[in-house]
Amino acid sequence: MQDIPHIPVLYREVIDVFQDIKEGIIIDCTLGYGGHSSMILESNPNIKLIGIDQDQTAIDFSKKRLSQYGQRVSIKKGRFSQVIKEILQEVDPKEIKGILADIGVSSLQLDQKERGFSFESDTLDMRMDKDAPLSASVVVNEYSQNELEHILKEYGELRNYKKLASVIVQKRPFVSSKELSEALIPYLPRGKKIHPATLLMQAVRIEVNDELGELKGLLQTIKEVHPPCAKVAIISFHSLEDRIVKQEFVKWSKSCICPPEAFRCECGNNHNLGKILTRKPVTAQADELKQNARSRSAKLRVFQMDKDNEC
Ligand SMILES: C[S@@+](CC[C@H](N)C(=O)[O-])C[C@H]1O[C@@H](n2cnc3c(N)ncnc32)[C@H](O)[C@@H]1O
């Protein structure tokens, strides 16, 4: 077996979520290095698994890693917001018993300097899919000052986004994430726990990979199709994503979807898709926090689809 380049986060909690699924299909929307998928295949011996990833390196690795499970596994390359639509058209939604998304970048993507994700990187790329048209170089070197202000404010939540955008415009072009972060460090807030350039990198990466759009698209498709008894488990790594998941699950759990100002209910009061299984997000236990630094910011939320009260 090859060395495993990524330790799955909240691995016990993910196994627990899907433990009672005896048959059918579980979709792993973020296959990565097959960590969660291989554990799910082991602990649920009669299920089939469909894995999605947009990164060919991750797919090649996981194909080998999961080959021992033969026909139980199929792997699809692409963005999950699109691929999940195709899967839910090909497969009877009743067959889908679980959907997992462990969003964000993998440790390998961060560690491989040539991918451009880290502030140490020698390139300015940050594409999860190396064939995607938009790279960090385009965002940083070609976006207008207004567009840069928008992504730094919305995706990095950086208070001095105007100053940062103007410094980027004055000092560009940049050829690497290292050069960009070094030039901006004097203007970035000093965090106690994180590198000063973390939020800058996050903002650019979210734009390059349309990460929030992808998450919203995924949740939208799941809502529209609402596979009858599926458990939907989403792991996120920053507050922007967690907020989207939390708010969407709350909407799914509501029976009445009339606007708050409506005088009386006119929607039929039958829109509830199931129930939220995690009132608060699940976070890593102390032993995992020690072993895997990445687990520090991981938050898991789970929703049980059950529109007809049959599950
Ligand atoms: C945190 S890693 C997943 C690790 C995996 N759970 C494991 O245990 O090995 C996230 C993976 O999801 C992929 N990914 C992120 N956003 C995606 C999207 N919108 N569509 C497809 N793959 C995506 C990344 O390329 C990366 O390989």
Give yes or no for a contact between 112 and 58, defined as CB atoms under 8 angstroms apart.
no
Strands (E), 61-127: 73-77, 96-102
Q: Hey, what are 173's tokens?
A: 């072009």
Rounded to 5 degrees, φ, ψ at 13 are: -65, -40
Residue that is written with structure tokens 């998928």 in the block = 37
Give the pLDDT confidence score for residue 4 in this predicted structure. Answer: 65
Between CA 137 and CA 154 the distance in angstroms is 19
Ligand 1 atom with the shortest distance to the CA of 215: 19
* Residue nearest ligand 1's atom 3 by CA: 32
Query: Among 241, 227, 197, which residue's Cα sits nearest to residue 303?
Result: 227
What is the per-residue pLDDT for 1? 43
Per-residue pLDDT of the chain (311 residues; tens, 9 = 90+): 456 667 899 999 999 999 999 999 999 999 999 999 999 999 999 999 999 999 999 999 999 999 999 999 999 999 999 999 999 999 999 999 999 999 989 888 888 888 999 888 999 999 999 999 999 999 999 999 999 999 999 999 999 999 999 999 999 999 999 999 999 999 998 876 788 889 999 999 999 999 999 999 999 999 999 999 999 999 999 999 999 999 999 999 998 888 888 888 888 888 899 999 999 999 999 999 999 888 999 999 999 999 888 88
CATH T-level topology, domain 133-208: DNA polymerase; domain 1 (1.10.150)
Kindly report the protein residue whose alpha carbon is nearest to atom 19 of ligand 1. Answer: 79
Integer-rounded Cα Rg, in Å, for the chain is 20
CATH number of 11-108+211-305: 3.40.50.150
- How far is it, in rounded angstroms, from Cα 77 to Cα 59? 7
DSSP string, 134-173: --HHHHHHHS-HHHHHHHHHHTT--TTHHHHHHHHHHH--
Mutate to test the pocket of ligand 1, among 18, 128, 134, 219 (most ligand atoms within 8 A of CB): 128
Residue 148, SS3 per DSSP: helix
Structure confidence at residue 270 (pLDDT) = 87
Q: How do the domains of the chain map onto residue ranges?
A: 11-108+211-305, 133-208
**How many alpha carbons lie under 13 Å from residue 130 in its C-beta half-sphere?**
10
pTM for the predicted model, two decimal places:
0.95
Buried b (16+ CB within 10 A) or exposed e, 133-160: eebbbebbbebeeeebbbbbbebbebee
Q: Give Cα 225 distance to the centre of its chain.
A: 20
Closest ligand 1 atom to Cα of 101: 6
